[in-house]
Amino acid sequence: MSVRTDLLALDQQALEDLGNRGLFKRATRDVDGGDGQTITTADDGTVTATAGDVTTVLAPGVGLADTNCSCGAPGMCRHRIAAVLGYQADQASGGDDNGEAGSEPLVVWSPGDFTDDDLVARFSKTTISAARRRLRRGTVATITRPTDQDRVPTVELESCTVRFLVPHDLNYTSTSARAGTDDEFIVLAVWAFRQADEAGLTDDTATFDVGDGDGAEGVPASLDRALAFADTVLLEGATNLADHLLVSEPIQQVLETDGLRWPLEAFTDLQGQLDDYAERGALYSPATNADLLAELYARARGTAATDEIPRSRVLGSNVAAEASLRHVRLDGLGCRITGTPEDRLVSVYFAHADSAAIYVLRRRVTFDENNAPDHRRFLERVLTARATVRSLAHGNLVTSSAVRRANREFRVAKSGVSQSSVVPSAGAWEKLPTPLRVDDYDVVATSLRARAPRLVRARILAESLHAVRVAEVLDVGWRPGTQTLGAIVADEHENVARIELRYDGVAPGAVDALGAALTDPNLRFVSGFVRLVDEMLVIDPIGVATDRLIALDAVDPAQAEIQGLPVGRMPTAGGAHGEAIRTALDTLADVAHQGLRHLPTAYERRAEASSKALRAAGLIGSAEQLDDFISALGQFRSEGDPTEATHAWVDTRIRLLVAAEAAGAA
């Protein structure tokens, strides 16, 4: 009798990937509850499971969703999963004892071993052709090879994640893409592994370009048009740009047509800043406006591809704007609320364990000045999927109607609200994969040092957000001068990190909630944005896991536990370097805000003071770069040609932003 090694290889995670967690639980209840299931295995390996009046036939060489089941359900059903569980139990208790699923020795293999003949035999010609078109356009892939921690080879593509659940078997794969496009991504994932194998990329994880990409050189014409608009913003400033606002719309269209995803995202955000200023919105920021201008110039300069930062990654060449996701379970990590009581931006963060990615649900909510609710009433406002701000921020989301943007922001489609549910989260972040879960502070610190500058990285929201395990809280203190709660925590390897949270009136319960959690003996994790400051890991927290998830910004201040914390013991992170860089960046941001043409005569004195502060902090190169801009500005005032002043401003802004990121001052 043939043993079905493919069925024995399907553990709980694999079965949930092929179906969903709900189907797995129902199938488990059926089997454990003694539903009278009988299992027979034919000589050719065909497994037949009978339970009541339902018969399921698992034929060899056929994917689980394509097998025959008399229940009549299209695709996956609980009976198919129950048949697998019944077969595994039958094998474990019978003469052929193979143990539990997933208990076998690690199989080290690569999906790149599949040949094109294997792909043609499994998939249609239409699917192969569609995959080849995607390959010609080029994309970025991150492959993860089998390890003892995760035995499933995985490929994260720009649009979805593909998992190969059974060694050497194409019938058992799962993707986060919608049905109808999933097969072409499986083919592309095979080719990605094959390319990595041929290139000798043998590390557990590797990120690289797959396919041909755009094959172009130089700055694309559409990006040149965006830079011309940026030149105008620098010359006139956000305060004087009303007549130019409509010019940007066709630029967005040509960037979209050329497939330049990251410049398009940056340009769209720039347009949002300018619109917000024109409408006196609360989310306009001179610093953000200046940073977006610098990013456009930096990405244009980054079109000169290097091995370290390929051109396609700088431009986001042909990255899909959106991708629909299959049935996904998202684990809540907390939220952030910014803005003013009349104009609030809510960002709720979720971890998708299967793809080791963070997804962000964002909503901007505005009110009339006299009708803005207090924080408690705002938390009860429905945000999406019939769930309130409070329940989403403190919960896990299960949905079959998520649509993900390229930057990992997502929305729940209105047509699929009934297919979504929110349940309270217990903060079980120990189940998250690395690198989402941080157990060793030195590991994440090393990854932060190795990153390319933010100005040319993929524009992924929450790329620095992690669930950080806390083994011990060493110290806690309150700095009244900056309204900041600080703490020193340690991991189990005795590495230390600093937690810092500044009070914000739009989230009035956050600081007290964090203070209470830091003294709670049940504290296990802190979720937050991480950066390095003076070589120490600093965490800007959004949530904590004790015996439950506490989303700090979504805590009602009336329910927060007031803490009597020691005052003044926590030093401010950043030191003189960070302060000098921030001051210089603020000085440069005024140029993009007011415009080169409209700067007051006293501006040079302010810039010279910033240059002096940079020198005092030992940042001589940055000071000299700022001096060059001051000189070019004087030349512009006397001669009227803004070209040199524009170039000098861009050079200085980019240099200082890179320095700020390295110093943890960004």
User: Cα(464)–Cα(116) distance, rounded to whole angstroms?
Assistant: 38
Is the same domain home to 84 and 166? no
Q: Is residue 95 pLDDT above 50, yes or no? A: no
Looking at residue 242, its pLDDT comes to 65
Cβ pair 518, 546 in contact under 8 A = no
Angstrom CA distances, 43 to 1, 40, 269, 609, stand at: 5, 10, 62, 85
Q: Is residue 364 part of a domain?
A: no
3-state secondary structure of 44: coil
Looking at residue 1, its pLDDT comes to 63
Is the same domain home to 445 and 563? yes
Is the same domain home to 490 and 557? yes
Residue span of the structural domain in which 633 resides: 576-663
Q: Is residue 309 part of a domain?
A: yes
Looking at residue 321, its pLDDT comes to 86
How large is the average pLDDT for residues 118-133?
92
Q: Is residue 253 part of a domain?
A: yes
Cβ pair 160, 176 in contact under 8 A = yes
Q: Which of 538, 483, 488, 537 is nearest to 511 (CA)?
A: 483
Is the same domain home to 546 and 451? yes
Mean of pLDDT over the chain = 89
3-state secondary structure of 30: helix
Looking at residue 99, its pLDDT comes to 46
Q: Is residue 118 part of a domain?
A: yes
Is the same domain home to 554 and 585? no
Is the same domain home to 559 and 582? no
**Last residue of one domain, picked from the residues 261, 285, 315:** 315
Q: Is residue 573 pLDDT above 70, yes or no? A: no
The β-bridge relationship of strands 465-469 and 525-533 is antiparallel
Q: Is residue 186 part of a domain?
A: yes
Is the same domain home to 308 and 232? yes
**How do residues 465-497 score in pLDDT, each as one tens digit?**
999 999 999 999 998 888 999 999 999 999 999
**Last residue of one domain, picked from the residues 572, 596, 618:** 572
Is the same domain home to 533 and 637? no
Q: What percent of the chain has pLDDT over 70?
A: 92
Q: Is residue 125 pLDDT above 80, yes or no? A: yes
User: Which segments of 595-639 does DSSP mark as H helices, in order?
Assistant: 603-616, 620-639
Q: What are phi and psi of 67, to 5 degrees?
A: -75, 170
The β-bridge relationship of strands 47-51 and 38-41 is antiparallel
Q: Is residue 368 part of a domain?
A: no
Is the same domain home to 154 and 54? no
How large is the average pLDDT for residues 187-191?
95
User: What is residue 452's DSSP assignment?
Assistant: P
Q: Residues of 498-510 as b/e, b for ≥16 C-beta within 10 angstroms?
A: bbbbeeeebbbbb
Cβ pair 441, 497 in contact under 8 A = yes
Q: Which residues contact 253 (CB under 8 A, 6 or more apart)?
A: none
Please list the helix, strand and coil fractions of the chain in percent, rounded to the nearest 5, in that order.
40, 25, 35
Q: Is residue 97 pLDDT above 50, yes or no? A: no
Is the same domain home to 470 and 538? yes
Confidence of residue 417 (pLDDT cuts 50, 70, 90): low
- Between 398-402, 440-444, 583-587, the lowest mean confidence (pLDDT) is in 398-402
**Last residue of one domain, picked from the residues 162, 187, 210:** 210
Number of structural domains, the chain?
A: 5
Looking at residue 139, its pLDDT comes to 81
Q: Is residue 523 pLDDT above 80, yes or no? A: yes
Q: Is residue 420 part of a domain?
A: no
**How do residues 242-285 score in pLDDT, each as one tens digit?**
665 545 678 999 999 888 999 999 999 999 999 899 888 888 99
Angstrom CA distances, 305 to 217, 218, 264, 315, 397, stand at: 8, 9, 19, 10, 40
Is the same domain home to 513 and 566? yes
Is the same domain home to 493 and 599? no
Cβ pair 626, 584 in contact under 8 A = yes
Q: Is residue 382 part of a domain?
A: no
User: Cα(641)–Cα(636) distance, rounded to whole angstroms?
Assistant: 5
Q: 429 is written with which tokens? A: 């972040």
